[in-house]
């Protein structure tokens, strides 16, 4: 499974589960593919909406839990 990191020109820059960069042609992806979508190959690229939502929820929770400054400047 790959995560779409961003779109750049004709490419979708993706990462695999180890953080390795994989460059795909944007035109090969579903038209509604968005940054952050997790995609998998099943003869064609498919967005895994359930896995995407679960991954986002997990990282959102960790983002919200980051240490805050003791005193805001």
**Residues in touch with other proteins (CB under 8 A):** 3, 5-6, 8-9, 11, 14-19, 23, 34-38, 52, 55-56, 59-60, 62-63, 66-70, 72-73
Q: Where are the beta strands (DSSP E) in the chain?
A: 2-8, 11-15, 21-25, 38-41, 45-47
Question: What residues does 20 pair with on adjacent strands?
Answer: none
Four-residue CA torsion sign, 6, 12, 13, 14: positive
Q: Kindly state the smallest distance separating residue 20's Cβ from other proteins, in Å.
A: 8
Q: Kindly state the smallest distance separating residue 36's Cβ from other proteins, in Å.
A: 5
Comparison of 9 and 43: residue with beta carbon closer to other proteins:
9
Comparison of 32 and 43: residue with beta carbon closer to other proteins:
32
Rounded distance between C-alpha atoms, residue 39 and residue 13, angstroms: 12
């Amino acid at each position: 499974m790959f995560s779409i990191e961003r779109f750049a020109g004709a490419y979708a820059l993706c990462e695999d589960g180890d953080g390795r960069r994989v460059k795909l042609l944007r035109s090969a992806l579903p038209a509604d593919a968005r940054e952050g979508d997790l995609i998998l190959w099943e003869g064609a690229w498919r967005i895994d909406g359930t896995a995407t939502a679960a991954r986002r929820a997990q990282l959102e929770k960790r983002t919200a839990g980051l240490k805050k400054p003791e005193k805001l400047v």
